[in-house]
Amino acid sequence: MEMPIPNLRHLRVFLAVTELKSITRASETIFLSQPAITQAIAKLEGQLGTLLFKRHSDGMYPTTSGEAWQKRVSRAIDHLHLATLDVVKDNVPKEFPPKNLLALISTTQLKALIAVCEAQNFSIASRNLGVSQSSVHRAARDLERLLGVTLFEKSSLGIRATKAAQTLAKATKLAFSELRQGLYEINALQFKDVSTIAIGSMPLARTTILPKSILRFNDRHPDVNVNVTDGPYGDLLHHLRQGDIDMILGALRQPSPADDVIQEELWSPPLSIVARDGHPLMAKENISAQDLAQYAWAVPSQGTPTRQAFEAIFHDAQMSLPTRLVESSSQILVRELLLESDRLTLISAHQVEREININLLKVINFPLEHTRRPIGLCVRKSWLPTVTQSHFLSLLREVSEHFR
């Protein structure tokens, strides 16, 4: 469910009323009229489809939905506030003290910032937002003038986002992610949980613990969407840190790939050498690295843990690597190459469990117990999962325990 991002001014109004428990006191603090504050709260409640406050004679108190929303809005504003301070630290606008800058930034400007950063082109950004190019250009340039920093520079390929733009865009996406989670929590409180769990999946997880976890989860949460994104680890990590996905499931990296993420091991399967049923090596008892080097291989790309383990087999035997390699991360392609030739591959047997069970593929008898590698979760360090997301994590751990 895609939600329109609320007006930042309305969010500030909401936080002020929540803190001060009074429209009158909030009016004096944020310099807005009482009717304007009342109207802002009403618009926000209409957008969220719930009452955020209980009106009493001694003040206004947040409802259960209001408390959930306050937590998410506070976290969202913190992301934006810290990023804004970071962006202007070396060039403070004279007319606006840094602490007041966020009050002047609009949701429209932040949406334009994200769109241009992602598209690196004003025309494409405008199409993606469904507004005119002049509107996007004006919003982006107004934000530049407000902050007193350059956000976009011309390049040979179009528009290049500066470091300041990237910093603020990342914080904005994390803030918007918090607001979406707040809406999910409000909907769940009203027994209409139609949230989305966004997962970045690596090869081993997507054929083992992930499908089983999704099936169990959907039995209990039939209306919750699960969005699975495949891709290279570097791309998935970027999307995780930007708030586009909630978690990465797959082979863990050592050391941890970034300071703002944490990893959790779920289980550690060993790798196996796999070939078609009837491969010549099946009849051989004591297989050496020299034997393995006689055959062509299908292997993952450079830098992946499995590729490193493949190369270690031959380096440890003080041998050159086989030369007839096909590099691919596609399990379907690798499977077909194995079935139609004498090629070998290095893979977890769990990934080809079905093919092994129906005797299409077999595991070559070559000891690789030392290649056990941790498979698990990678999430943002600051991530606060919803109850629904926490339940999905619990199921992942249960399914992983079975494999372990």
What the chain holds in terms of domains, given with CATH numbers, is 8-170 (1.10.10.10), 193-268+375-403 (3.40.190.10), 272-371 (3.40.190.10)
Provide the strand spans (E) within 150-284: 152-155, 158-161, 196-201, 225-230, 247-251, 261-267, 272-276
- The pLDDT confidence band at residue 1, using thresholds 50, 70 and 90, is very low
Q: In 3D, which of 204, 203, 227, 202 has the Cα closest to residue 214?
A: 227
Unique residue bearing structure tokens 């999946």: 201
Locate 44 and state its tokens: 């926000």
What pTM was computed for the model? 0.86
Please give the Cα distance from 63 to 71 (Å, whole number).
12
**Adjacent-strand bridge partners of 377:** 249, 264
* Averaged pLDDT, 329-334: 90
| Count of other CB atoms within 10 angstroms of residue 381 | 11
The predicted structure's pLDDT at residue 96:
59
The predicted structure's pLDDT at residue 57:
85
Sign of CA dihedral 255, 258, 262, 266: negative
* Averaged pLDDT, 47-75: 95
Contact 346, 272 (CB under 8 A): yes
- Give percent of the chain above pLDDT 70: 97
- The pLDDT confidence band at residue 404, using thresholds 50, 70 and 90, is confident
* Averaged pLDDT, 319-335: 93
The predicted structure's pLDDT at residue 164:
95
What DSSP assignment string belongs to 105-155?
A: --HHHHHHHHHHHHHSSHHHHHHHHTS-HHHHHHHHHHHHHHHTS--EEEE
Contact 299, 327 (CB under 8 A): yes
Provide the strand spans (E) within 244-403: 247-251, 261-267, 272-276, 297-299, 325-327, 344-347, 361-363, 375-380
Q: In 3D, which of 315, 306, 303 has the Cα closest to residue 334?
A: 306
- The pLDDT confidence band at residue 101, using thresholds 50, 70 and 90, is confident
